[in-house]
Amino acid sequence: MGEYRYLWPLPDQYEETTEQIQRYHPGGLHPVHIDERYSSAVGQYRVLHKLGYGSYSHVWFGQTLASPNSRGVVLKLIASQCTGKTNEVEINTYLASRSKEDFGFRNFLFCHDTFQLHGPNGVHNVIVTEPAISLANLPSLGVELDEREVVRQMFHGLSFLHRHGVVHRDLHLGNIAVEFPFLRTSGVNEIMKASRHPICHPCVLSTAVSHPASLPAYLVEKAKFCERFAPLMREEASSIVVKLLDFGCAFRPGTNDVLAAEQGGPCFFLEGTGMCSCPPPS
């Protein structure tokens, strides 16, 4: 792949707010642009803003289309190199099919839809969930939560997972989210107004590349709506719902899923407690 240069700002400034453009290649991330529309068997979605990115995915705020009440959703697009190598889609779908009355059901990030997106970099799994805010982001916003309540709800979520035979294996602050009441009551326009217009940085290649279609026309900075809503989050800190998310390393012991044979050691459940012991991912 060729060498990259940027119109503005310089690369060392650039990569603080966006992912590296070198991650867009066959097997890598799908090039996403604002206002793109995606369709699945059960819904249609419009991309509105970028929320963030991880090691093998990027995450976007969007809205549902072709429904009486359009609502905000989160679209997680996973790098195509992961397709068929994790259980994330299957486990999200499996957990979402459990009874909503089940104890701890509300403490995992509910999956509304999953589908596959065929693009220039391969086949990408897309997971559509409800909006929530990562626990790791809250300290910098001055949002203080009752730590005992957070831990209590986290264990409710773990109990739900373990009762249904799911081991998370990658639980850390970035994979624990918080739903505030305003996320359920605010409309898409209100959230977008708080985040302001997406800041897009065009990128230009200084040399020819073999897969120009793999690249986006621009990279989008992460939305800053968390900063705008920080005062409201502080007001609603006593009314949160803790959500477990990101099942990219998860598996179901005793099944034929793709990670069960690779989990690296014995895994056992403590009967009657909802607790599980399993080696962490390597």
At residue 259, the pLDDT reads 58
Give the side-chain half-sphere CA count within 13 A for 51.
24
Contacts 24+ apart (CB under 8 A), 193-202: 194/225, 194/228, 194/229, 195/49, 195/61, 195/223, 195/224, 195/225, 195/228, 196/224, 198/34, 198/48, 198/49, 198/50, 198/223, 199/17, 200/34, 201/6, 201/7, 201/8, 201/9, 201/14, 201/18, 202/7
Tell me the three state secondary structure of residue 221: coil
At residue 196, the pLDDT reads 80
76 is in an annotated binding site: yes
> What is this structure's pTM?
0.86
Structurally, at CATH architecture level, domain 4-275 sits in Orthogonal Bundle (1.10)
Confirm if 105 and 174 have CB atoms less than 8 A apart.
Answer: no
Q: What is the mean pLDDT of each successive set of 10 residues along the chain, which is 282 residues long?
A: 41 66 93 96 94 92 84 96 92 95 96 96 97 92 94 96 94 94 90 87 75 90 89 95 95 70 48 49 44
> Residue ranges per domain, the chain?
4-275
At residue 268, the pLDDT reads 47
Other beta carbons within 10 angstroms of residue 53's beta carbon come to 19
Q: What are phi and psi of 29, to 5 degrees?
A: -75, 155
Q: How distant, in Å, are the alpha carbons of 25, 34, 79, 82, 128 from that of 133?
A: 29, 21, 22, 24, 15
At residue 266, the pLDDT reads 43
> Which residue blocks in the chain are alpha helix, DSSP H?
11-14, 88-96, 147-163, 181-185, 188-195, 225-235
**Could you tell me which residues come within 8 angstroms of residue 185 by beta carbon, excluding any fewer than 6 positions away?**
none
At residue 195, the pLDDT reads 81
Tell me the three state secondary structure of residue 181: helix
